[in-house]
Structure 1
Amino acid sequence: MRKLFSIILSFGLIFSFAFSTTEIAEAKTKIIAYKNCKEMNKVYKGGVARSSSVKNKGGKTKYKPFVSKALYDKNKSRDRDKDLIACER
């Protein structure tokens, strides 16, 4: 019984690391070029960050940005302060 439990637990951990949440979230995200930050903030209140490790240089923000490299690259022109977060609020 213990052996079976440890095998099931091991497979569960392997699958959880294999399919990270950012890859799943990014797969569901439509890659759209927004007209302006107002339009983007209707969908993503905190804006869009290129990676989860970037830090905001523009001051205090209310919301945490959504992380998507593809979406950020499509809307790179919306990042006025060049901190790798587009339309942060």
Structure 2
Amino acid sequence: MKRFFAFLLAFGLVLGFSYGSSSQNLAEAKSKIVTFKNCKAMNKVYKGGVARSSKVKNKGGKTHYKPFVSKALYDANKSRDRDKDLIACER
């Protein structure tokens, strides 16, 4: 009986670690930083643009969409922020 539980525990650990590593690889693939050619290309993926942080306020006026928040993605596309309000390609 003890051997059965030990085998079941070992099997669960192996299965858990193999599942955790594959989901971690998927998260790494999704977080790949892309530099967009222009705002039209960025707005196809991120309708509201990309903000550097969630505390940033839009200086350009009222927008229709909420921006996606990502410091790394904003830094890669910093040249797309014409009004320098820390939101690139806001709409």
Q: TM-score, normalised by structure 2?
A: 0.67
Pair 1:79-2:63 in alignment: no
Tell me the equivalent position of 2:69: 67
What corresponds to 1:88 in structure 2?
90
Which residue identity does 2:32 align to in structure 1? K
**Which contiguous aligned blocks of 4+ residues in structure 1 show a shift greater than 6 angstroms?**
none
Q: How far apart are residue 27 of structure 1 and its match? A: 7.5
Q: Kindly tell me the number of residue pairs found equivalent between the two proteins.
A: 65
Counterpart pick for 2:31 among 16, 29, 32: 29
String of CA shifts for 1:41-68, please: whole Å, max 9, x gaps: 0000000000000000001100000000
Please tell me the residue identity of whatever aligns with 1:51: S
- RMSD of aligned Cα (Å): 1.8
% identity of equivalent residues? 88
| Structure 1 position 28, deviation (Å) | 3.0
* Amino acid aligned to 1:57: K
Counterpart CA distance in 1 for 2:68 and 2:80 is: 14
